[in-house]
């Protein structure tokens, strides 16, 4: 398939930035991006020879600009700040040093240059404090998903859907949606799964369309994810820090791509999102990553997206029951409520070493504990994500 017309350069940029990372699988990336290996190597070669300009079809701009003199350091700092008004001294230093053309002062000196030129708000700077967060050890071990608060356009409203890789902070989905429905989310996720493969697990808050439907935090969307072999967990209610990396990404998205802009339509929003996403993933230094961009730590998953979901299989000791129309199952003479999202699907009661106690599973995901004769069964826990 050819590149999508409206995002040709951004797709090429993302492909190349992933491909040039150490240990990347070029053949797999070409499959994920639906291009031939010859074409993939062509764009890698052009990028290495001409930089970003080489990714344009007929651009003849040289990659290397003349070497800057020491007298131009301050103007280069101010110009980059003008281009990225939310960046501070450390990010500006890391970005300019990556070009290898300037000898930069310390981040504190750059911050002072910004302050001296009226580019810093002291009250705003005081709000930015570093956090220590848990980080998964490998890419695709966990993806965080959420909607950024919606904002108006001239033709309606935009609901930005975001998905972030926990290990690398790589932004996998930044979709300008017109609503927050299952259909919109599923469409964006299918595109992401085809491009990057499947994660081991995804976490999200308790809101619609993936949150609590009144029956075990299981909805049609999360049931579909589990069916694909993706573990599902939810943040604790009123604890947004569980989604801390995606929440932090939302703040960056607001400052660098949304605030102060007037959007005509969802297409206009998506254009701005695509441009921001390239900068965020492949150019913007990230403090938690040693001032390197997320692309330096991300690789697509080896778990390919199945166009047809695999059959549901359980172990030989599992007792399998079919979920009825009202979302209930019959077991050992008792009725247990599961979820309407699983109507018609097989679930398994897995024996434990305690008499009368079973674990209830859908595919690989544990839904709850079951004790025969005890109607007070516990709901699905956010941590019940693995066998």
Q: Which two tokens stand for residue 306?
A: 């199945």
In degrees rounded to 5, what are phi and psi of residue 371? -125, 120
Cβ atoms within 10 Å, residue 344: 8
Do 225 and 337 contact (CB within 8 A), yes or no?
no
100 vs 134 pLDDT, higher one: 100
Give me the residue label for tokens 């230094």. Answer: 285
Where do the DSSP E strands lie in 238-356?
Answer: 319-322, 328-331, 334-337, 346-351
- Assess whether pLDDT exceeds 90 at residue 180: yes
Q: What is the mean pLDDT of the chain?
A: 83
In degrees rounded to 5, what are phi and psi of residue 231? -70, 145
pLDDT at 241: 53
- Assess whether pLDDT exceeds 50 at residue 1: no
pLDDT tens column, 81-91? 778 877 877 77
- Assess whether pLDDT exceeds 80 at residue 101: no
pLDDT tens column, 334-354? 999 888 899 999 999 999 999
pLDDT at 374: 66
pLDDT at 117: 72
- Candidates 86, 106, 64, 46; CA nearest to 276 is 86
- Model confidence at 126, pLDDT cuts 50, 70, 90, reads very low
Query: Could you write out the three-class secondary structure of 57-119?
Result: CCCCCCCCCCCCCHHHHHHHHHHHHHHCCCCCHHHHHHHHHHCCCCCCCCHHHHHHHHHHCCC
Give me the residue label for tokens 């106690």. Answer: 357
Q: How far is CA 203 from CA 193, 199, 225, 384, in A?
A: 15, 11, 11, 12
pLDDT at 123: 54
- Candidates 193, 181, 160; CA nearest to 273 is 160
- Model confidence at 175, pLDDT cuts 50, 70, 90, reads very high
pLDDT tens column, 361-378? 999 999 989 888 765 444
pLDDT at 289: 78
């Amino acid at each position: 398939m050819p590149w999508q017309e409206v995002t040709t350069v951004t797709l090429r940029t993302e492909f190349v930035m992933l491909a040039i990372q150490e240990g990347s699988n070029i053949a797999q990336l070409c499959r994920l991006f639906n291009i031939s290996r010859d074409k993939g190597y062509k764009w890698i070669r052009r990028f290495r020879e001409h930089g970003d300009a080489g990714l344009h079809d007929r651009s003849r701009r040289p990659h290397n600009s003349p070497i800057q003199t020491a007298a131009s350091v301050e103007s280069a700092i101010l110009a980059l700040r003008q281009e990225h008004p939310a960046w501070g001294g450390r990010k500006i230093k890391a970005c300019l040093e990556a070009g290898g053309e300037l000898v930069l002062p310390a981040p504190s000196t750059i911050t002072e240059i910004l302050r001296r030129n009226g580019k810093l708000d002291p009250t705003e700077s005081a709000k930015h404090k570093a956090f220590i967060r848990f980080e998964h050890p490998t890419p695709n071990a966990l993806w965080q998903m959420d909607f950024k608060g919606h904002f108006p356009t001239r033709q309606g409203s935009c609901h930005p859907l975001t998905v972030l890789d926990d290990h690398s902070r790589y932004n996998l989905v930044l979709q300008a949606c017109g609503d927050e429905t299952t259909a919109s989310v599923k469409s964006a996720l299918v595109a992401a799964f085809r491009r990057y493969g499947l994660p081991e697990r995804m976490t999200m808050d308790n809101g619609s369309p993936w949150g609590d439907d009144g029956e075990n935090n299981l909805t049609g969307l999360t049931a579909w994810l589990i069916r694909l072999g993706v573990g599902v967990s939810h943040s604790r209610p009123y604890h947004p820090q569980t989604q801390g990396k995606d929440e932090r990404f939302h703040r960056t998205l607001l400052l660098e791509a949304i605030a102060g802009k007037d959007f005509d339509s969802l297409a206009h929003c998506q254009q701005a999102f695509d441009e921001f996403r390239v900068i965020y993933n492949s150019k913007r230094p990230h403090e938690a990553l040693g001032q390197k961009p997320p692309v330096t730590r991300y690789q697509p998953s080896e778990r390919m997206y199945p166009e047809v979901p695999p059959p549901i299989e359980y172990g030989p000791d599992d007792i399998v029951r079919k979920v009825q129309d009202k979302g209930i199952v019959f077991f050992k003479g008792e009725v247990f409520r599961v979820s309407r999202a699983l109507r018609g699907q097989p679930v398994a009661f897995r024996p434990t070493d305690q008499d009368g106690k079973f674990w209830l599973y859908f595919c690989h995901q544990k839904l709850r504990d079951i004790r025969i004769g005890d109607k007070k069964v516990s709901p699905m826990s956010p941590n019940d994500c693995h066998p």
